[in-house]
């Protein structure tokens, strides 16, 4: 029998895709110095929206979500820095995951919500 055939499928997939298993301790201790933003630009801490941002545009929201996903900020740091509730940031992440930056538009929030509620029912 071929040596790879005896291994579980997940391990073969992880090896073939070049993914590494990272311990939680390593994730906490390592912080990225930059990440890729919502439209493909490089983001650093200096390029993120100001901590006292009063007007949240979809792009600014998406930049915060990208910073959290790219390990530039932790979830808790983003909430503290921008004065966000945990549920609000989770909502932004969900909206970006489902509809991209367009899902963060306040004027279309109800429209997107209804669209995904219908999909979840079926």
Q: Domains in the chain, ordered, with CATH?
A: 24-121 (1.10.10.10)
CB 105 within 8 A of CB 58: yes
Phi-psi region of 19 (alpha: psi -120 to 50; beta: other; left: phi over 0): beta
| pLDDT the model gives residue 14 | 43
Q: How far apart are CA 42 and CA 112, in angstroms?
A: 28
| pLDDT the model gives residue 62 | 96
| pLDDT the model gives residue 88 | 94
In degrees and rounded to multiples of 5, residue 10 shows phi and psi of -65, -40
Q: How far apart are CA 44 and CA 103, in angstroms?
A: 23
Residues facing 36 on adjacent strands: 42
pTM (predicted TM-score): 0.66
| pLDDT the model gives residue 98 | 87
> Whose CA is closest to 51, among 83, 23, 93?
83
| pLDDT the model gives residue 17 | 47
pLDDT in tens, the chain (122 residues): 555 555 444 444 444 445 455 455 554 557 889 999 999 999 999 999 999 998 999 999 999 999 999 999 999 999 999 999 999 999 999 999 988 998 898 766 566 666 666 666 65
Residue 68's CB is within 10 A of a number of other CB atoms, namely: 20
| pLDDT the model gives residue 76 | 95
Q: How far apart are CA 32 and CA 39, in angstroms?
A: 18
In the block, residue with structure tokens 């994730």: 27
CB 67 within 8 A of CB 78: yes
Tokens of 74: 């932790």
């Amino acid at each position: 029998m071929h040596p790879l055939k005896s291994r579980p499928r997940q391990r073969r997939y992880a090896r073939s895709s070049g993914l590494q298993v990272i311990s939680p301790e390593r994730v906490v201790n390592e912080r990225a110095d930059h990440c890729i933003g919502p439209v493909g630009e490089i983001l650093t801490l200096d390029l993120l929206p100001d901590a006292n941002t009063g007007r949240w545009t979809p792009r600014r929201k998406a930049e915060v979500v990208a910073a959290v996903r790219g390990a530039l900020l932790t979830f808790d740091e983003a909430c503290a820095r921008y004065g966000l509730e945990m549920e609000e940031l989770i909502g932004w992440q969900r909206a970006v995951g489902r509809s991209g930056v367009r899902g963060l538009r306040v004027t279309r929030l109800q429209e997107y919500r209804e669209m995904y509620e219908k999909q979840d029912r079926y």
